[in-house]
Structures are given as structure tokens and as C-alpha cells.
């Protein structure tokens, strides 16, 4: 039950990530032209959410839970890599360039938003690791267990 709940949480995270990218793409395509061709752009941007959705589905369905958990860890690492730089840039921009005229004002609200975003990413990474630890390896004994049929 714990494993399925963690996988469901990661499935929702992957879905939200894909929807956020779609929203970002729709907004930006109205402003400017794409730098990359559209299929390459979608592949690069949606590989993380696809890994997270497929990995959590494999884990929830109990088809290949270990492989699914590895996919979830890779996807969460991609999420942290892609957006972690933005978090660091938001924190370090006022420190590195204090007199930047075009920098948006660094307020308490910005700090709270960035801290919430960083906490969200760290929790996603921790959830993926806990999911991997919750999965038992497939080389356990082949003795039948109560409550399960081996048919």
C-alpha cells in the first residue's frame, strides 16, 4: 500500500510537470518562434514527465516495480537538474549582481516561493528514493505467501 501511494504521488507529479510544460509551451509559442524543431523540442522537454509517469505506472501495476522505481529516480533527478539551476540563480542573482537594473525586486514573497519550490523538488527526490527502498528485490524465495495465489 505504501508503495502504491508513493507511486501515485509521483504519477501526479509527472502529470503536473507535463501540463506545466504544455502551458509554458503554449504561452511561449505565442511570443516567439521555437529554437528547435517541434518534435525535438517535445522529446527533450517531455522525456522527464514521460519517465516519471511510465515508471510510477509500472510500479503501481506491479509489472516491473524495480525498473519503474529506477525510472522515477531518473525523472526526479532530471526535474531537479532542470529547475534547480533556476532556484540557485534566483538566490544568487542579487548576491552576484546587486546593482542589476533589470533584476526584478527580491522580496520576501520571492524567497518564500523559491523555498517552496526547492522543498517540493527535494520531497520528490526523497519520495523516489523511498519508493525504491520500499520495493523488494525479485530474487526472494519462491515460497507461496498467504493471501496470494501463485497461479
> Does residue 139 lie in a domain region?
no
d(CA 115, CA 29): 29
| pLDDT digit string, tens, across residues 105-149 | 667 787 788 888 888 889 999 999 999 998 866 545 555 556 655
Whether 140 is in a domain gets the answer no
Residue 108 pLDDT: 79
Residue whose C-alpha is closest to residue 2's, from 125, 131, 126: 131
The set of residues, in sequence order, having a beta carbon less than 8 Å from that of 71 and lying 6+ positions away, is 51, 52, 54, 55, 58
Structurally, how many domains does the chain consist of? 1
Residue 144 inside a domain? The answer is no
* 47 assigned to some structural domain: yes
Structure confidence at residue 84 as a pLDDT band (50, 70, 90):
confident
Asked whether the beta carbons of 59 and 72 are under 8 A apart, the reply is: yes
Q: How far apart are CA 85 and CA 93, in angstroms?
A: 11
pLDDT at site 150? 53
Q: What would the pLDDT profile of 17-46 be if each residue is shown by its tens digit?
A: 999 888 888 888 888 887 778 788 888 889
Domain limits at 64? 2-96+106-134
In a domain, 65, yes or no: yes
Q: What is the pTM of this model?
A: 0.76
| Residue 151 resides in a domain | no
Classify residue 20: in a domain, yes or no: yes
49 found inside a domain: yes
Amino acid at each position: 500500500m505504501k508503495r502504491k501511494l508513493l507511486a501515485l504521488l509521483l504519477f501526479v507529479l509527472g502529470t503536473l510537470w507535463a501540463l506545466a510544460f504544455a502551458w509554458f509551451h503554449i504561452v511561449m509559442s505565442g511570443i516567439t518562434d521555437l529554437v528547435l524543431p517541434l518534435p525535438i523540442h517535445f522529446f527533450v522537454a517531455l522525456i522527464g514527465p514521460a519517465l516519471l509517469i511510465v515508471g510510477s505506472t509500472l510500479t503501481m501495476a506491479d509489472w516491473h516495480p524495480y525498473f519503474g522505481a529506477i525510472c522515477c529516480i531518473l525523472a526526479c533527478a532530471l526535474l531537479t537538474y532542470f529547475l534547480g539551476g533556476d532556484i540557485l540563480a534566483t538566490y544568487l542573482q542579487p548576491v552576484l549582481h546587486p546593482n542589476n537594473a533589470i533584476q526584478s525586486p527580491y522580496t520576501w514573497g520571492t524567497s518564500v516561493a523559491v523555498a517552496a519550490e526547492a522543498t517540493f523538488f527535494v520531497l520528490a527526490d526523497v519520495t523516489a528514493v523511498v519508493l525504491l527502498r520500499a520495493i523488494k528485490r525479485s530474487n526472494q524465495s519462491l515460497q507461496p505467501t498467504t493471501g496470494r495465489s501463485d497461479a
